[in-house]
Amino acid sequence: MKNSKLTRTCIGCRSKKQKENLIRIVKNKENKIIVDLQQNLEGRGAYICKNITCFEKMQKRNILKHALKTSIENKKYEELRGVIFDESN
């Protein structure tokens, strides 16, 4: 099965989209939370749409904390926002 056929659910808006149309955020073995732009890093991952509305919903509702099963500080959300919206546009 080709990767282009795979769908994932955005944790912000809960809509299903093709995997390549979403951003993957991963918690790796060292418990670091990073943006996985190539979508190939090992670890627990969560997907989000490439728009600010979904990101803000995720941050406001603290959804990423539950998806990755770890605590997340506001500073980390700001780092993620910078990586996602500076490099995805």
User: pLDDT category, 15, cuts 50, 70, 90?
Assistant: very high
What is the radius of gyration, based on Cα positions, of the chain? 12
Percent of the chain residues topping a pLDDT of 90: 87
CB atoms within 10 A of CB 8: 18
pLDDT at 62 over 60: yes
The pair of three-digit structure tokens given for residue 81, joined into one six-digit string: 């926002």
Residues in a beta bridge with 44: 27
Strand boundaries in 1-89, DSSP class E:
7-9, 16-18, 22-27, 33-36, 44-49
- Confidence (pLDDT) at 87: 56
Average pLDDT over residues 5-21: 94
Tens of pLDDT, residues 67-80:
999 999 999 999 99
Name all domains of the chain by residue range, CATH numbers in brackets.
3-87 (3.30.1230.10)
d(CA 43, CA 12): 20
Report the C-alpha gap between 86 and 50 in whole angstroms.
11
Quick: pLDDT tens for 26-52. 999 999 999 999 999 999 999 999 999
Q: What is the pTM of this model?
A: 0.87
CA 83 to chain centre: 11
